[in-house]
Amino acid sequence: MSVGRRALVVIGAALMSVGAWLLVADSDPLQVAPWVLGPVLLHDAVLAPLVLGAVWLGRRVLPRYAQAPALVALVVGGALTAVAASVLTRAGARPDNPSLLDRNYVAGYLVAMALTLGIAVVAALLNRRRTLSSGRAT
């Protein structure tokens, strides 16, 4: 491992240690646990198996030029869903504080997913055009 990578590992470990210390010292870890563990568990137990199954199916159903854009869209969509799960379910919302979770997070999530899908479709069409122009259509 190069000196630069070692330095990055040391800096990263130091910053994670400071973050862990601040989490324990300045807040109740039981209050923070659902926000930290929820997306991880959702991703590992639900989204990752679904994405892997969809990728397996996509390799058999989609043409070659659409496979990579579809895979990227699935990974990005899974990550967006894992990150957005807490606010989409309104976890932590309190009636006595209306300033918490005061936006239309569902609309924002849907826009982000639509942009992801749109970019994947454009990438697939560009891949198709490139393969057709080179005479290697599959």
**Residues with Cβ < 8 Å from 121, sequence gap 6 or more?**
69
pTM of the model: 0.62
Q: How far apart are CA 9 and CA 1, in angstroms?
A: 10
Dig out the tokens for 112 from the structure: 């982000």
Q: How far apart are CA 11 and CA 17, in angstroms?
A: 10
**Residue 136 pLDDT exceeds 70:** no
**Residue 47 pLDDT exceeds 80:** no
Selected residue with higher pLDDT from 18 and 30: 18
Tell the burial category of 80 from Cβ atoms under 10 Å away from its Cβ (0-12, 13-18, 19+). Answer: middle
**Residue 137 pLDDT exceeds 60:** no
CA distances from 27 to 22, 23, 115, 122 (A): 8, 6, 36, 45
* pLDDT single digits (tens) 77-86: 988 987 888 8
Could you state, in order of their start, the residue ranges of all structural domains in the chain?
A: 32-133
